[in-house]
Amino acid sequence: MVIIGNGIAAKTLLFELFKTLKASETNCQNFSVAQIFSNQHFPNCSEKSTATISLNGVDVGVSTLGDLLVEGYDEFCNFVYNNQPDGIELVDQYIISTDGDNDQKLSRRFNQLTSLDFKLLKNSHKGVLLKSFLLSPTIFNSWIDSRNSLHSFLQIEDVVKDVKTISAEHVLVELFGGKSIKSKYVVICSGAYFNILKNFNQDNLEFFSDSVVSGSYLVRDFFYDQSFFLTLNGHNVFYRNQDNKLIIGSSSQKGNFMLPRSNELCDILDYLTKHLNLDLGSLDQFKMITGLRHKGPKRLPICGFVDEKKKISVISGLYKNGYTLSFSMSKKMINLLLSQQCFSRMNLE
Ligand SMILES: Cc1cc2nc3c(=O)[nH]c(=O)nc-3n(C[C@H](O)[C@H](O)[C@H](O)COP(=O)(O)OP(=O)(O)OC[C@H]3O[C@@H](n4cnc5c(N)ncnc54)[C@H](O)[C@@H]3O)c2cc1C
């Protein structure tokens, strides 16, 4: 099997795959897996993410996306509980409103607001308190990479040029470097660069209504006694004790712009500086980080087979929720592949 990508979707899929293979060792004698990616040419979004895992008032039974987010959050909690990974911390997220307009917005989202005292705000305000996670991409990625590397698989750093079904049994993955890999199954986890690889299925229009939305945030090294997570009138500011990062944002703009919206980020910093009892620092002390998010049709994640012969599949369109959704999407993908009995008799050629 070939997995394209090295973001959170590909890493969690590999993790889930190796877990499944370990549990069913006798059936997978000839199984081999290759991971192909080129972070150099296609920078991954997962390293440029604020990577919070929060439900923000989403509940089941309201929308398909809401149901998937709750399922994703629960699966993330299970993953943390079962594996105790590095780089993840459960924190109190204070969602606070300081004015009437925001009170109304928050009340619509959460049924009841209470009066909250957040230590970095001068006064108490209306809001809600949630249990959410802060994830350091650097620490977590190195943890999951080291777990995955306990298993043998081929890693190829190259650009995938095309993915095509060449027979009832095989898919050909063509690389810019000149090599081709013949495989029985391919899972594409290519994030915002999905468009480049869409030629495999010209007829499946559902997958063509995706788009790219760039996102930017401010980050700086900082020292404080413990992690905190505040959403103040819709703006996030949080501090991760694990890697001493203070993060503010993020902003969004449609299209694949790698340039941040610096004015908007500057306004958010000014706004938070005015409200907080903490010296956040000036704009020039921060780095601006930008990543490209892949938005699926109706903001929904894409997880399934995309060719008639069920040889090519995709996990993508994770949009603003890649860290929340990857764990449940990977499980779903493994179940789909199991339903095709694809873990027996597989070899790369
Ligand atoms: C500013 C910002 C803040 C965010 N905050 C959050 C948050 O708080 N919580 C949350 O859950 N999510 C958040 N997200 C979203 C989240 O980061 C993404 O949904 C997630 O990273 C997507 O992961 P992915 O694995 O699908 O894609 P990526 O991480 O982009 O990985 C794609 C991979 O595919 C490879 N690739 C693509 N095309 C090719 C090709 N042709 N050949 C070879 N390799 C290829 C790339 O090299 C890369 O390794 C945020 C995103 C941004 C930008």
Picking from 42, 35, 69, the residue whose alpha carbon sits closest to that of residue 212 is: 42
Distance 11 CA to ligand 1 centre (A): 11
First vs last C-alpha separation in the chain = 10
Structure confidence at residue 262 (pLDDT): 87
Ligand 1 neighbours (beta carbon < 6 A): 4-10, 36-39, 42, 44-46, 48-52, 159-160, 189-193, 196-197, 215-217, 250, 291, 293, 316, 318-324
Whether the Cβ atoms of residue 211 and residue 28 lie closer than 8 Å to each other: no
Atom of ligand 1 nearest to the CA of 316: 26
Identify any residues that bridge with 131 across adjacent strands, giving them in sequence order.
Answer: 92
Query: 122 Cβ partners below 8 Å, 6+ apart?
Result: 275, 277
Give the residue-averaged pLDDT of 304-318: 89
- Which pair of structure tokens corresponds to residue 149? 């590397």
The yes-or-no verdict on residue 345 having pLDDT over 60 is no
Q: Of 1-10, 76-85, 199-208, 275-284, where does mean pLDDT reach its minimum?
A: 199-208
Query: 267 Cβ partners below 8 Å, 6+ apart?
Result: none
Whether the Cβ atoms of residue 229 and residue 94 lie closer than 8 Å to each other: yes
Q: Using H for helix, E for strand and C for coil, what is the string for the chain?
A: CEEECCCHHHHHHHHHHHHHHHHCHHHCCCCCCEEEECCCCCCCHHHHCCCEECCCCCCCCCCHHHHHHHHHHHHHHHHHHHHCCCCEEEEEEEEEECCHHHHHHHHHHCCCCEEECCCCECCCEEEEEEEEEEECHHHHHHHHHHHHCCCCCEEEECCEEEEEECCCCCEEEEECCCCEEEECCEEECCHHHHHHHHHHHCCCHHHHCCEEEEEEEEEEECCCCCCEEEEECCEEEEEECCCCEEEEEEEEEEECCCCCCHHHHHHHHHHHHHHECCCCCCHHHCEEEEEEEEECHHHCCEEEECCCCCCEEEEECEHHHHHHHHHHHHHHHHHHHHHCCCCCCCCCC
Nearest residue (by CA) to ligand 1, atom 26, is: 191
pTM: 0.95
Distance 312 CA to ligand 1 centre (A): 20
The yes-or-no verdict on residue 9 having pLDDT over 50 is yes
Q: Give residue 227's pLDDT band: very low, low, confident or very high (50, 70, 90).
A: very high
Third-level CATH fold of 90-134+211-295: D-Amino Acid Oxidase; Chain A, domain 2 (3.30.9)
In 10 A of CB 22, how many CB atoms?
A: 10
Q: Which amino acid type is present at position 184?
A: K
Structure confidence at residue 168 (pLDDT): 87
Using a pLDDT cut of 90, give the percent of the chain over it: 70
Q: Of 29-33, 79-83, 133-137, 297-301, where does mean pLDDT reach its minimum?
A: 29-33
Residue that the structure tokens 């493994």 belong to: 334
Distance 9 CA to ligand 1 centre (A): 8
The yes-or-no verdict on residue 72 having pLDDT over 80 is yes
What are the extents of the domains in the chain? 1-87+136-209+298-349, 90-134+211-295
The CATH architecture to which 1-87+136-209+298-349 belongs is: 3-Layer(bba) Sandwich (3.50)
pLDDT for 115-161, tens place per residue? 999 999 988 899 999 999 999 999 999 999 999 999 999 999 999 99
Give the residue-averaged pLDDT of 206-227: 89
